[in-house]
Amino acid sequence: MTVLDRPRTTWRVVDIVVASVIAAACSVVFIAWGVAYQGPATLLTPLLPGLQGLVNGPWLFAGVLAGLIVRRPGAAIYAELVAAVIEALVGNQWGVTTLISGLAQGLGAELVFAVFLYRGFGPGVAFLAGAGAGLGETVVDLLLYYPGSKPVFVVVYAISTMLSGAVFGFLSLLLVRALARTGALARFAAGRDAKRVG
């Protein structure tokens, strides 16, 4: 790997600003979904216990989106955690545990970007990063909200949450490409890459 091929680890001011804007925008989605998710979750739970993990996706995309755009180590954790802080400050039914979820989700996505050495940002990585965020959330949920769950519930919930995260990870990539077409990401490698793909 040459010096030019190495991922950039130093954050620019624009990286901090954009990651913060992503986090703030995602927190709005998180807050709205914190109210709206109850209906779908209530419908899914009787079908198969644990299937309500499918509704977790809208909480799992901030880190993936920031990671795909900013492409700096720590971007996924930063965006998920800042979004969680905003959500907790505005107020929700989970209070301070929202921060634990944000950290776990961000770490799950971050580990995927790290495995690919912050050089892979295609559909597969987006899909896996979303699933990683889902895995992080699964661990938190099973420990805090579903302790002592039966093995079947654990497996179904984990698969459902990771699948939901993976779908929203892929949707994040589509959003990046749509933003790139507008020129909004011109200062980022993500913008240039997406234009080549599109």
**Cα Rg of the chain (Å, integer):** 17
| First-last CA distance in the chain | 27
Structural contact between residues 62 and 69, judged by C-beta atoms closer than 8 angstroms: no
Give the pLDDT confidence score for residue 144 in this predicted structure: 94
Distance of alpha carbon 103 from alpha carbon 162, whole angstroms:
16
Report d(CA 161, CA 6) in Å as an integer. Answer: 33
Rounded Cα gap, residues 45 and 103, in angstroms: 26
Tell me the C-alpha distance between 62 and 31, whole Å: 13
Per-residue pLDDT of the chain (198 residues; tens, 9 = 90+): 444 445 677 899 999 999 999 999 999 999 998 888 888 888 888 888 899 999 999 999 999 999 999 999 999 999 999 999 999 998 888 888 999 999 999 999 999 999 999 999 999 999 999 999 999 999 999 999 999 999 999 999 999 999 999 999 999 999 999 988 888 787 777 766 655 655
User: Where do the structural domains in the chain lie, given as residue ranges?
Assistant: 11-193
